[in-house]
Structure 1
Amino acid sequence: MASAAMLVPLVLVLCTAAASAAVVEHTFKVGGTKITQLCMNSVIYTANQQLPGPTIEVTEGDTLVVHAVNDSPYPLSLHWHGVYQLRSGWNDGANKITQCPIQPSGNFTYRFNITGQEGTLWWHAHSSLLRATIYGALIIKPRNGPSGYPFPEPYEEIPILLGEWWNRNVDDVENDGYLTGLGPQISDALTINGMPGDQNRCKGSAMYEVEVEYGKTCLLRIINAAVNVELFFKVAGHTFTVVAADASYTKPYATDVIVIAPGQTVDALMNTTASPGRYYMAAHVFDSKTVAVPFDQSTATGIVKYKGVPNYAPAAMPSLPPHDDVVTAGRFYWSLTGLARPSDPGVPTTVDHNMVVTFGLDQAPCAPNQTKCSGFALVAAMNRNSFQFPDQKVSLLEALYKGVPGVYSEDFPDFPPPMQGFRKATAVKKVKYNDVVEVVLQSEQYSSTLGTENHPIHLHGFDFYLLAQGLGRFNPSMKSKYNLVDPQVRNTVAVPAGGWAVIRFMANNPGMWFMHCHLDAHLPLGLAMVFEVLNGPAPNLLPPPPVDHPKCHG
């Protein structure tokens, strides 16, 4: 009787949770969009004729359904950046890893539940440089409404998506980058919510503007959707309190500048208590490279305008840090700590796999088809393995599920091998369900000519605990510095140039999960690897693929 009495309230809780969950449905038509930007007429590829694309808002526990229709001439996939995809790995959208691309004139319906996550994530194309214009915000609200925030309810929530803009077709930019062997040319402008602002040579350029009321608190949901650059972001006359990063809550951190790497998100409270007026928000590149390489030196701007202030009132401009201000960037990245709530799991203390993964860029001979290459081409690798996407008519996940031989090898090394040069391979690291994996990510300078830079390393399918990070080389004595109490929880970490970061995660989701540099220029060079997570006990099994799952075409 006692067991039955306990079961009744549990059933009621489960029924209530199920009743409160919803199905949120969108249709994304990806196709050509005519746009005038930087005094030029262009055709770009977007979702639903929008730049940025549609904002998706869901509540934790909801099921998200997105009907993707490819009206573009390019094969593509859509990735839901930071979503766990618990037992729904077929929907992760990693091109040739969890799915084959949606072919032109084709379609696919992504369907997955969003469980155990709150905050700001985003979605983007995961095929070629198309994500420069195919991206949008994915906002997950607490199940019990604004009262679920671990901070006072904001008066207004404002998505801020930072991006890059090329005047040329981005597919041509990527192709030329391969032919030269040196990667894509630098962007022509930075953008805030798709617009470059007024700090460029094109008079009348579009600029994002938001109106605020005096004496309120706004929650800025900041996303770095840029393809290849870290960014500094400020609002003149205002400061921030960071309360979350990568959809994981942080202890409040006061700052006047946000530093954010490609793929990362930051939630920051901003009080509108400045003298009523117009204030620029601005973003420019944080350049961490250790050798001089050209970069986009433009400044993207937007306007924060207080209600009642005329549009012609002059706007104050913030003083952004110098492009190479590694001290300010390091202080921001390293000062954040996690906000562990009673319901959150603690850091796992028993580790099943200890790995050291070194990575970087080097020089390689030009390939015969790199017809514009002169002298050398760039190559990248993790533990001397330069990742190659499978060329068979199957994704890695389908090969795992169906047992297709010869598609990948299970020999990605736990430590950097004592070898020179690189091995081109589709190598994965196999782990069991619920294994705990610790990875020391070590940035290397393989070439003095190329130097090194910060690398934002993104892990699909999981959040990880960021236990420690530092400059120089990691050594085992540094384990005493691990933060096992309140580490940041992230899905993307900016590993410092020539430095290291230690991450730890529990592999509780069967499937094939990509780990790669989120500087898109480095992905086709091979700066990636894959974790193969085996099935656990039922129901922790990889389900069959959806019936409309895209097929590969050579």
Structure 2
Amino acid sequence: MEVVRWIRVLLLVACLFPASVQCMVREYKFNVVMKNATRLCSTKPIVTVNGYFPGPTIVAREDDTVLVKVVNHVKYNVSIHWHGVRQLRTCWADGPAYITQCPIQPGQNYIYNFTLAGQRGTLWWHAHILWLRATVHGAIVILPKRGVPYPFPKPHKEVTVILSEWWKSDVEAVINEALKSGLAPNVSDAHTINGHPGPLSSCPSQGGFKLPVESGKTYMLRLINAALNEELFFKIAGHKLTVVEVDAAYVKPFNTETVLIAPGQTTNVLLSAAHATGKYLVAASPFLDTPAILVDNKTATATVHYSGTLGSTATTLTVPPPRNATPVAANFTASLRSLNSKKYPARVPLKIDHSLFFTIGLGINPCATCVNGSRVVADINNVTFVMPTISLLQAHFFKIGGVFTDDFPGNPPVTYNFTGTQPANFQTNNGTRIYRLPYNSTVQLVLQDTGMIAPENHPLHLHGFNFFEVGRGLGNFNSKKDPKKFNLVDPVERNTIGVPSGGWTAIRFRADNPGVWFMHCHLEVHTTWGLKMAFIVDNGKGPNESLLPPPSDLPKC
């Protein structure tokens, strides 16, 4: 099932800028419907947008306004998150259920209205409730303003490549059974590339996704990891890739044979079709350097097919890295640097107002009805987040008491050797607790992995902001020594960052966007288990620094 671009321009309006500048208002309609997945060797219906898996691609330009009417035709509650979109003062359109909105109930609809202010590159959208994002997701392609070139040679063609996971059974049944038992959910049955597991899998899916190329031409691949629970390696046999952008932020170009991309992340790469003819295997395989954690170890495949090559020609194969190839992953991550040019500067906060230290990991809490009398949970600073029954944003905006407390700890309650000897008590505290930030304050946040149960990579996504990764390392963060090695010149800018297994990462951002902003692990199982929290950024001075009022069609709980 191919990525389908479904676009209708509603209106051309003049922006409130010089007359030579124009912006577009673009309108889309997302019908959330059930669709049979026959191309994945399954006759069971899946939840889709407009009947496609992956769903439609939104194409716009920097500073365009986007209107998306989402109509819910399925039995589940639905909400859509526009992953990586800053949502400046439009927090009501961000999408996470019970954080910024009540979900769209069956038979109801909601219009998301937001502007792509100052953003260009590859982002994506996905369901942000239950495990529906397994099949409810698609790309957001934000082109530069007209007349503004890329800071690299213009490619001959651009291709969106969405990496994902596939379960033969209903994903909601998978996670519900896990929650009932208190154990980990079943891993997926396959990985996919643009909806196809590929010709080398047990489900041929009509040969898999094929990328036709012409010798001598350059192609930009917009890679998106939409998988629920797994970081992925991506490589193409016989070709090197040039990385030029991550999470809709330009980077200093570098060449690599293998891309590492975590759930929630996007990466733009240039592919030079340097061969005369041939067919070359494309491979997407899992990365996880924790032996105790089970993953779907199947490799999704596709084909780069040069024009003039016979279909009967043998495909040149490639061997994906081992799933525990930590050096490959670390080398890729260490190569990422912001472009930091005059036109695209890296505005790293140098003076810090809030210095936070968050430990992240798993725990075990009592559960009388579970298999072992306990359940696996996840936490930040030993707080397992409890979802409210109305949205945090509504409670904040309308000053509704009793929904949350603003006492989320800025440091772990107990200090121990986080990556070494474990405490005797693995139990966590439950709560709906947020951390409050004044408008325009600056934040340094150190994210420390813990070995509770097992150390593991955690891709953390922060809604509403881009941030800079100023440092990372293995073992426990040393607050006296490690900051001396921080990169404050050209650190990579992202919205989703992988916290290394048994290590830490440090990020910085400016809280210049009022509202309620979710931060959570983008491994869906960990989010379900409670590895999540939220920041509230208070209004600043005047209307331009204040959250807009809610739209009239905001869903009700």
TM-score, with normalisation over the residues of structure 2? 0.93
How far off is 1:362 after superposition? 1.6
Q: Which residue of 2 aligns with 1:4?
A: none
Choose 70-79 or 358-367, whichever is displaced more: 358-367
Distance (Å, rounded) in 2 between the aligned partners of 1:334 and 1:325: 15
Q: Which residue of 1 aligns with 2:412?
A: 416
| Residue 544 (1) aligns with residue 549 (2) | yes
Q: Which residue of 2 aligns with 1:15?
A: 18
Q: Which residue of 2 aligns with 1:427?
A: 433
Q: Which residue of 1 aligns with 2:11?
A: none
Distance (Å, rounded) in 2 between the aligned partners of 1:41 and 1:168: 11
SS in 1 for 2:60: strand
Distance (Å, rounded) in 2 between the aligned partners of 1:460 and 1:480: 28
Choose 90-99 or 345-354, whichever is displaced more: 345-354
Q: Which residue of 2 aligns with 1:248?
A: 249
Q: Is the 8 A contact 1:382 1:529 kept in 2?
A: yes
Q: Which residue of 1 aligns with 2:375?
A: 377
2:452 to 442, 446, 451: 446
Q: Which residue of 2 aligns with 1:307?
A: 307
How far off is 1:184 after superposition? 2.1
Distance (Å, rounded) in 2 between the aligned partners of 1:107 and 1:458: 26
SS in 2 for 1:424: strand
| Residue 389 (1) aligns with residue 395 (2) | no
Distance (Å, rounded) in 2 between the aligned partners of 1:466 and 1:293: 26
Distance (Å, rounded) in 2 between the aligned partners of 1:367 and 1:395: 29
Choose 477-486 or 415-424, whichever is displaced more: 415-424
How far off is 1:43 after superposition? 0.5
Distance (Å, rounded) in 2 between the aligned partners of 1:233 and 1:208: 14
Q: Which residue of 1 aligns with 2:120?
A: 118
Q: Which residue of 2 aligns with 1:73?
A: 75
When residues 102 and 273 of structure 1 are mapped into structure 2, their CA distance, relative to the original with a 3 A threshold, is: same
2:57 to 55, 58, 65: 55
1:305 aligned partner, one-letter code? H
Distance (Å, rounded) in 1 between the aligned partners of 2:286 and 2:236: 15
2:333 aligned partner, one-letter code? Y
Equivalenced residue count is 531
2:395 to 399, 406, 426: 399
Q: Which residue of 1 aligns with 2:35?
A: 33
Q: Which residue of 2 aligns with 1:501?
A: 505
Q: Is the 8 A contact 2:80 2:125 kept in 1?
A: yes
TM-score, with normalisation over the residues of structure 1? 0.94
SS in 1 for 2:18: helix
Q: Is the 8 A contact 2:79 2:95 kept in 1?
A: yes
Distance (Å, rounded) in 2 between the aligned partners of 1:482 and 1:91: 34
Q: Is the 8 A contact 1:37 1:206 kept in 2?
A: no
SS in 2 for 1:308: coil
How far off is 1:12 after superposition? 10
2:448 aligned partner, one-letter code? Q
SS in 2 for 1:148: coil
Q: Is the 8 A contact 1:383 1:415 kept in 2?
A: yes
Distance (Å, rounded) in 2 between the aligned partners of 1:174 and 1:206: 30
2:469 aligned partner, one-letter code? L
Q: Which residue of 1 aligns with 2:526?
A: 522
Choose 217-226 or 302-311, whichever is displaced more: 302-311
How far off is 1:266 after superposition? 0.5
SS in 2 for 1:480: helix
Distance (Å, rounded) in 2 between the aligned partners of 1:44 and 1:311: 32
Q: Is the 8 A contact 1:334 1:469 kept in 2?
A: no
Per-residue CA shift, 1:135-156, capped at 9, x if unaligned? 00001111134x4211011111
Q: Which residue of 1 aligns with 2:472?
A: 469
Per-residue CA shift, 1:5-60, capped at 9, x if unaligned? xxxxxx9991336x520011110000100121443312001000001000111100
Distance (Å, rounded) in 1 between the aligned partners of 2:200 and 2:375: 35
Distance (Å, rounded) in 1 between the aligned partners of 2:540 and 2:16: 26
Q: Is the 8 A contact 2:104 2:110 kept in 1?
A: yes
Per-residue CA shift, 1:422-475, capped at 9, x if unaligned? 21001000010000011000001123xxx1210000000000010001111101
Over the matched positions of the two proteins, sequence identity in percent amounts to: 45
2:484 to 470, 480, 483: 480
When residues 226 and 204 of structure 1 are mapped into structure 2, their CA distance, relative to the original with a 3 A threshold, is: closer
Distance (Å, rounded) in 2 between the aligned partners of 1:206 and 1:387: 43
Distance (Å, rounded) in 2 between the aligned partners of 1:37 and 1:216: 31
1:423 aligned partner, one-letter code? N
1:42 to 29, 44, 54: 44
Per-residue CA shift, 1:55-90, capped at 9, x if unaligned? 111100100110100101100100000000000000
Distance (Å, rounded) in 2 between the aligned partners of 1:250 and 1:204: 35
Structure 2 unaligned regions, length at least 5: 1-13, 416-424
Per-residue CA shift, 1:492-514, capped at 9, x if unaligned? 00000110000000000000000
How far off is 1:350 after superposition? 0.9
